[in-house]
Amino acid sequence: MKLKFLVFSILLLSASVGHAQRISQVGKPLDYVSTLVGTQSTYFLSSGNTYPAIAVPWGMNFWSPQTGKMGDGWMYTYTAEKIRGIKQTHQPSPWMNDYGQFSIMAMVGNKTFDQEKRASYFSHKAEVAKPHYYSVYLADYDTKVEVTPTSRAAYFRFTFPQTEEAYVLLDAFDKGSYVEVLPQENKIIGYSTKNSGGVPSNFKNYFVLEFNKPFKDISTFADSVLEDGRYSVKAEHVGALIGFSVKGKDDPLLMKVASSFISNEQAERNLKEIGDKTFEIVKSEAESIWNKELGKIEVRGGTIDQLRTFYSCLYRSLLFPRTFYEYNENGDIVHYSPYNGQVLPGYMFTDTGFWDTFRCLFPFLNLMYPEMSLKMQDGLANAYREGGWLPEWASPGYRNVMVGNNSASVVADAWIKGVRSKDIETLYEAVVKGSKNAGPLPAVGRAGAEYYNELGYVPYDVKINENAARTLEYAYDDFAIYQLAKAIGKGKDDLQFYKDRSFNYKKLFDPATGLMRGKNKDGSFQSPFNPFKWGDAFTEGNSWHYSWSVFQDFAGLAKLMGGNKAMENKLDSVFILPPIFDDSYYGFPIHEIREMQIVNMGQYAHGNQPIQHMAYLYNYVGAPWKTQFWVRETMDRMYSPNPDGYCGDEDNGQTSAWYVFSALGFYPVTPAVDEYVIGSPLFDEVKLHLSNGKTIEIRSVNNSAENRYIKDLTLNGKSYSKNYLKHSELIKGAKLNFTMDNKPNTKRGIQSSDFPYSLSTHD
């Protein structure tokens, strides 16, 4: 009897694993979001390298619990045991670190500013981590801290036990800071200058804190010296420690806080985002904002984990690039320029690296949030006017990180997807300048531009690192400019110039290996050549990863490789090869190498951006069912709603937007082209509520973990065999009906007329 029961239990468990219950109705999408996804990361192995951002979509200021030391890019680690404070942050990634930062900590009977001595034990069991609301129980102080945000302000609620020694600490961090306590107004004002680069010399983050209770004790510290009764202090590292009398847990201490990059007066102005509202009203408003933005995509008919993963990824897709503008006393939009230090009119956005986000984050915004994308385009034009160049990695100003000139793609894709900036002529001037010149930093403009202009590639032997990666990305960026030039009616000379340069990828193709390879100035290929060598000629990857960076012309790439079948076999090889690597360029296995090695998908390194589009390329060679298999495999294996839920750095929404697009069933393989390439839809039903009032409805019949293959597809009621969808048609409103199966349909999407855009064959 016991044996029968055991067998029955095993069968029941197997059934539940293989056929997980699919959720037929989603209420509030925010309920499915966890901000802790990706926080179980370290310097040596990334599961996202995220922090639990407490923010509204694209908010100017984020907040995060801080478990790491002051100035540590890993400000919150899921496995940590203690919290040192709640930090205002503008950090786009731990590798870029932070600016505009200060932290708040609550304590009882512990009059200290030392970050080790003030830290309190906490548990995830007594923590709520949502985009619009965070709460944590500080066990050492029997105190609950709650935070809810607006774009430029936040509301704190501290629930202390009954005590005469309740303290709130403001730590303005080092590198030059100032605080002033105004007890008659129950306020603290000041500024922090701590940053990790990319700012003018006059950079400051001005802040104001306003409390609902009178101050019982006032102390300030300067450079490790705490002094009672001192109200104002300016030094390398300052802060304030304010004591309160609290009657108990029914007598919460409330604190409103806001900041500005312009002035203390502007910080006071930004505090009006809260005004006289209660904590619960601000929390409810933030919740409504998130549900509105997340609710633009309705999904149903997936497992609970798929829904949680989807909406957590969608949350991450709506954080960056962040707002970097404010409203002045007249209600006009103004910004502190991170490029020249002046306060100027107009929009500004920052904290994004185009090397990551040109691939699908910006195309996603162009599809679902074009009104935000339009503001971002206007902000880019302002960046060019103020700094003389478009940024490639902004945080908040120019940063000397990564390769490529992918601002061209960001500008071109927006215009081609219908986002019509009034500044398009300025933006065109900017992308042309960036395409022909080296900038003030290697990561601005084009490093090696003189060689690229002359030879059509950046040579391997002229001491410009990651030269092959630069060449491949420059060729694609030239294509993006070509597309933009066509779309806005530029002359034949511009069109021919950029079209010709779009084919420069061919100069690095090595027929002997069938892969991309660094080339010397004299036209010979680099030697020796190891296609498994990371870095060197490539960026955070190897030749097996970067050989697919021919976004503009996969038909041309297939021809170089020996035809469609040969390219199909080469794509197969990525997944079949063992995850071997040569790390000699770095001297140790960087975390991206480890993340490829451990997931058992061969040379496929989804944890980093260069190869994230690769699984979709079977659509270009007549084997779309292989795309369907590997895209679904990647979604299933590489993502989860857990703290280790990513397979590498999340990177400003890019890796999240990959999942969002892929779950819908299509992906923008080639930004600056009016197409999405079809994959394998994850959910039974999806509705995309577009900003123009139209709806895209996606239904998938017979969908399951096993039924990942497209048996049939209809578009607006008509049979549809192509391996791509046109953006211009979808935004008119569309109905897609997929019929799924557990075996490939090897007769669908195999004609050359079904293949997506390639420059060689479609132009």
Please give the full DSSP string across 262-316, using - where no structure is assigned. Answer: S-HHHHHHHGGGTTT--HHHHHHHHHHHHHHHHTTEEEESB-HHHHHHHHHHHHH
At residue 22, the pLDDT reads 86
**Distance (Å, whole) CA 209 – CA 230:** 17
Show Cβ contacts of residue 599 under 8 Å, excluding neighbours closer than 6 positions. Answer: 606, 607, 637, 638, 647
Question: For residue 16, is pLDDT > 80?
Answer: no
Mean pLDDT of 661-672: 98
Pairing outcome for strands 205-211 and 253-260? antiparallel
At residue 24, the pLDDT reads 80
Tokens standing for 744? 């490939």
Question: For residue 216, is pLDDT > 70?
Answer: yes
At residue 1, the pLDDT reads 42
Burial class (CB in 10 A: 0-12, 13-18, 19+), 495: middle
**Distance (Å, whole) CA 640 – CA 589:** 25
Per residue in 436-463, pLDDT (tens digit) is: 999 999 999 999 999 999 999 999 999 9
Tokens standing for 355? 């090397």
Report yes or no: 88 and 100 within 8 Å, Cβ to Cβ: yes
Q: What are phi and psi of 484, to 5 degrees?
A: -65, -45
**Distance (Å, whole) CA 167 – CA 255:** 12
**Distance (Å, whole) CA 615 – CA 605:** 11
Mean pLDDT of 335-353: 98
Q: Which one, of 217, 241, 259, 262, lies nearest residue 104 by Cα?
A: 241
Per residue in 265-288, pLDDT (tens digit) is: 999 999 999 999 999 999 999 999
Question: For residue 597, is pLDDT > 80?
Answer: yes
Residue with tokens 């997980």: 20
Q: Is 708 helix (H, G, I), strand (E, B) or coil?
A: coil
Tokens standing for 413? 């894709």
Look at the pTM and tell me if it is higher than 0.75: yes
At residue 763, the pLDDT reads 75
At residue 287, the pLDDT reads 98
**Distance (Å, whole) CA 659 – CA 35:** 16
At residue 19, the pLDDT reads 53
Question: For residue 81, is pLDDT > 90?
Answer: yes
- Residues in a beta bridge with 241: 169, 219
Q: Is 158 helix (H, G, I), strand (E, B) or coil?
A: strand
Side-chain-side CA neighbours of residue 253 (13 Å): 34
- Rounded to whole angstroms, what are the CA distances from 45 to 49, 476, 582, 644, 653? 9, 31, 18, 10, 19
Average pLDDT, rounded, for the chain = 96
Percent of residues, the chain, with pLDDT higher than 90? 96
Show Cβ contacts of residue 18 under 8 Å, excluding neighbours closer than 6 positions. Answer: 705, 706
Q: Which one, of 319, 253, 307, lies nearest residue 62 by Cα?
A: 319
Amino acid at 509: F
At residue 9, the pLDDT reads 39
Q: Which one, of 559, 673, 550, 548, lies nearest residue 615 by Cα?
A: 548
Amino acid at 197: G
**Distance (Å, whole) CA 205 – CA 275:** 21
Report yes or no: 696 and 736 within 8 Å, Cβ to Cβ: yes
Per residue in 532-588, pLDDT (tens digit) is: 999 999 999 999 999 999 999 999 999 999 999 999 999 999 999 999 999 999 999
Per residue in 82-135, pLDDT (tens digit) is: 999 999 999 999 999 999 999 999 999 999 999 999 999 999 999 999 999 999
Question: For residue 80, is pLDDT > 80?
Answer: yes
Per residue in 284-331, pLDDT (tens digit) is: 999 999 999 999 999 999 999 999 999 999 999 999 999 999 999 999
Question: For residue 191, is pLDDT > 70?
Answer: yes
Distance of CA 321 to the CA centre of its chain: 8
Lowest model confidence (mean pLDDT) among 23-37, 539-553, 729-743: 23-37
Alpha helices in 57-195 (DSSP H): 115-118
Q: What share of the chain is helix, strand, coil (3-state, %, to 5)?
A: 35, 25, 45
**Distance (Å, whole) CA 520 – CA 508:** 10
At residue 452, the pLDDT reads 98
Q: Is 755 helix (H, G, I), strand (E, B) or coil?
A: coil
Question: For residue 2, is pLDDT > 70?
Answer: no
Report yes or no: 707 and 681 within 8 Å, Cβ to Cβ: no
**Distance (Å, whole) CA 182 – CA 127:** 32
